Amino acid sequence: MSNSPNPKDEPSATTDVPRLVAEITAWLIGPARKAGQPKEIVAGLIDRLVAAGVPLWRVRIGQRVANPMIGAWGVIWTRDGGAESYTVPRSMLATDSYRGSPFEHVIVTRTLFHQSLESLMEGHDHPVLFEQAAAGSTDYLAIPLEYGDGSVQASAFTTDRPGGFAAGEVALIDGLAPAIAAALEPAAMRHSMESLLEVYLGNGPAARVAKGNFQRGHMTEAEAAVLVTDMRNFTGLSERLAPDALLDRLGAYFEVVVDAVRAEGGDVLKFIGDGVLSVFPARDSGRLDACLRAARSVVRAFGDTSVTGIPFVAALHVGPVVYGNIGSRDRLDFTVVGPTVNYVSRLEGIAKLLGVKAVCSADVASMLPADMVSDLGRHALKGFSQEQRVFELSTVAGD
């Protein structure tokens, strides 16, 4: 699609388009591709286009990713702000912001989209074009970037020059599409893999798995605070609620717990039915910091009003855990195992038995301020010959 302007004076810097395409292509598929950092690649590309006389105002290069949570990510460059990364929620792809947009046109048709923003028609042109015009742009060019796996990514270039892009400038940008794709595809594939691992493993474990630090049967021991949360009466809810309502309720609870854990630097490792297993690695600051962060995440989770009416319990313990990949020869699961994990799972049952929201072990209680815990006495834990001292953990800030 094209409704391009026709400036009277085309800048001489873009009259030798084949030479410029060759020079910038050589940089893109050589040094830029090897550098592999999307922001640096985009910034370097813009520098070369501006040096060639292209009056760029704003550039957005998006990458769709195989991620159930994120629809796309990419880099936005502005003349005043430079290059910055951004993400687009997957839900955005089902809204009017995407449907009928220039990006959808480029991805579906695999052809460029060129539209002057100086004579837009209400009810005919997409709202995103009006937004660009209101921000000061005079011309909009979107081109497809085709990857080796057959997918199509979209990129958009705007200018604020009266009259818009010259024909040579459009030809230069369009001619660079294969090289831009070649430079960005490796980085996009790495980002897609890493973000997918983060969704299922959490940030810390995902980084270690991506680097190949864990093979089947390879274990690493570390100190960590381990947090288990579990919904009360999930079986009863599943019998009373329709499947879609049950999933909505479960999703709201999971979101609150995950947000609280991540806010305090923890990793959500696993969803087990209606339970969540999270770890707070001790790192250099030791057990004290890990316990404090985990306890604060409990306060955050219970303090979130969006889960009012969704009863759940939390249990917290600290000690050595073993990270590793376990499973068969062709199917692995990344998890933590060991006595610390077993102990905290038993504590979670005590919380339900005593009718309290959150409990912790004596080891954790010894690390926390006195006003955050209260002694619940000794109780029998399955698998332990002696009764264990259990503490109620505060779920209210300032207690």
Shared domain for 220 and 121, answered yes or no, is: no
Could you tell me which residues are beta bridge partners of residue 2? 114
- Flag whether 13 is in a domain: yes
Query: Is residue 398 domain-resident?
Result: no
CA atoms of 153 and 87, how far apart (whole Å): 14
358 backbone dihedrals φ, ψ, rounded to 5°: -145, 140
Residue 299 pLDDT greater than 80, yes or no: yes
Domain boundary among 171, 197, 223: 197
Query: Residue 95 falls within a domain, yes or no?
Result: yes
Determine, yes or no, domain membership for 399. no
Q: Does residue 242 contact residue 325 with C-beta atoms inside 8 Å?
A: no
Flag whether pLDDT at 347 surpasses 60: yes
d(CA 247, CA 241): 9
Strands 113-116 and 2-3: parallel
Q: Do 230 and 296 share a domain, yes or no? A: yes
| Rounded mean pLDDT, 247-251 | 81
Would you state the pLDDT for residue 12?
A: 43
Query: Rounded to the nearest 5°, which phi and psi values hold at 80?
Result: -90, -25
Q: The CATH number of the domain where 133 resides is what? A: 3.30.450.40
64 token code pair: 């769709």
Least confident of 55-59, 158-162, 253-257: 253-257
Residues 282 and 354 in one domain: yes
Residues 146 and 255 reside in one and the same domain: no
Query: pLDDT band for position 388 (50/70/90)?
Result: very high
Q: Give the residue ranges of DSSP H helices in 158-242.
A: 167-175, 177-201, 203-210, 234-240
Contact 223, 289 (CB under 8 A): no
**Does residue 283 form part of some domain?**
yes
Residue of higher predicted confidence among 212 and 123? 123
> Distance of CA 13 to CAs 114, 366, 380, Å?
21, 71, 81
Q: Based on the domain organization, do 286 and 168 belong to the same domain? A: no
Taking residue 46's Cβ as centre, other Cβ atoms within 10 Å add up to 21
Longest dimension (CA), the chain: 90
Residues near 286 by Cβ (< 8 Å), separated by ≥ 6?
223
Q: Report the alpha-carbon distance of residue 318 to residue 280 in Å, rounded.
A: 9
In a domain, 276, yes or no: yes
18, part of any domain: yes
What is the count of structural domains for the chain?
2
Closest CA to 169 of 2, 8, 45, 12: 12
Same domain, 209 and 245: yes
Residue 6 to residue 28: CA distance in whole angstroms: 29
- Polymer length of the chain: 399
> What mean pLDDT value characterizes the chain?
83
Asked if residue 297 and residue 263 are part of one domain, the reply reads yes
If asked whether residues 240 and 113 sit together in one domain, one would say no
Same domain, 96 and 191: yes
Summarize the confidence of residues 167-172 as an average pLDDT.
Answer: 95
Partners of 159 in the beta sheet?
A: 56, 139
Instruction: Using the structure block, give the residue that is written with the tokens 């910055």.
Output: 84
Whether 339 maps to a domain, the answer reads yes
CATH number at residue 332: 3.30.70.1230
Higher pLDDT, 6 or 395: 395
Indicate the pLDDT class of residue 248, thresholds 50, 70 and 90.
confident
* Residues spanned by the domain of 224: 202-393
Last residue of a domain, one of 160, 176, 197: 197
pLDDT at 308: 64
Q: Which amino acid is at 287?
A: R
- Compute the distance between CA of residue 58 and CA of residue 81 in angstroms, rounded to an integer: 10
Distance CA 392, CA 283 (A): 26
206 and 76 share a domain?
no
Q: What are the DSSP E strand ranges found in the chain?
A: 2-3, 56-64, 70-78, 82-89, 113-116, 139-146, 152-159, 219-231, 267-272, 275-281, 312-327, 332-337, 358-361, 373-379, 388-393
Q: Does 65 share its domain with 178?
A: yes
User: Average pLDDT for residues 285-289, to the nearest whole number?
Assistant: 87
- Residue 68 has a pLDDT of 46
Q: Where a domain ends, among 162, 197, 232?
A: 197
Q: Higher-confidence residue: 345 or 187? A: 345
Task: Verify that 113 and 238 share a domain, yes or no.
Answer: no
Q: Name the band, by pLDDT with cuts 50, 70 and 90, for residue 8.
A: very low
CA distance 399 to 396: 6
CA 399 to CA 391: how far, in whole Å? 14
> Which of these, 72, 76, 84, lies nearest to 56 by C-alpha position?
76
